[in-house]
Amino acid sequence: WPRAVVEDGGRVVGLLMLLIKPEFFFDVTDQVTGQTTRKLRELQWLIANPTQLTASGFPDIDETDRLVLLAQLVYAIGRLQKQGWVYGDLGFKNAAFAVSPPRLILLDCEGAADLHDPHRQQAHSLGWNPPECAQGVPQDRATDVYKLGLAILRCLNPGKGAATMRDPKRVSGQLDQAGTDLITRTVGQDPARRPTAKELYAYLRGVV
């Protein structure tokens, strides 16, 4: 979140934000040149296949740590909702994580909006749009939950097709029947049947 507004002669010219801590980055060594590049551990690394991870020198994230990170993502969005906010533009580049121990931060929070603002306009990352938004329905708590469901579904099924996956049955190998049913409601067509972020968090925390 922005920490302070920067003004020059009474005119707003920018803002100050905290730097992301070093533990949310990792080093990638080019196999050909040997050159090392520092990269942010964005959420998208949780959908990479083992070959991609190995080639990048990125350690695989085991299932327990994945569930911890996803629980933290749900908790963060749920906390915003409790304060009356809609996060909106959730995607693989809108969160970053650290390991040992696993922890997660939200990025690009300028897209968040007050739930009670009738003029709010919030973007969707490609492939994350909820079904009801095709009719121009503004984003709300139910759309946030839908996107959380996609994040859970996709991050528990890394590899080919993970970035666009929407079939809730794909978690049946990772979660029990209660979890599969919960994710099915979460990414369902009917917003009224979706659980709350609190319900999602309680389930993931219980599994962990």
- Of 43, 47, 45, the residue nearest 155 (C-alpha): 47
Residue 88 pLDDT: 93
Residue 106 pLDDT: 93
Determine the Cα–Cα distance for residues 25 and 41; give it in Å rounded to an integer.
5
- Of 56, 133, 24, 49, the residue nearest 89 (C-alpha): 133
Tokens representing 24 are: 């949310």
| 164 Cβ contact list (under 8 Å, min separation 6) | 127
Determine the Cα–Cα distance for residues 130 and 189; give it in Å rounded to an integer.
8
Residue 30 pLDDT: 76
pLDDT tens-digit readout, 112-142: 999 999 889 899 999 999 999 987 889 999 9
Query: What's this model's pTM, rounded to 2 decimal places?
Result: 0.91
Q: pLDDT below 50 — which residues of the chain?
A: none
Bridge partners of 8, per DSSP, are: 11
B/e letters for 144-181, b = 16+ CB within 10 Å, e = fewer, are bbbbbbbbbbbbbbbeeebbebeebebbeebbeeebbe
Residue 137 pLDDT: 86
Strand, coil or helix: what is 6? strand
Residue 192 pLDDT: 96
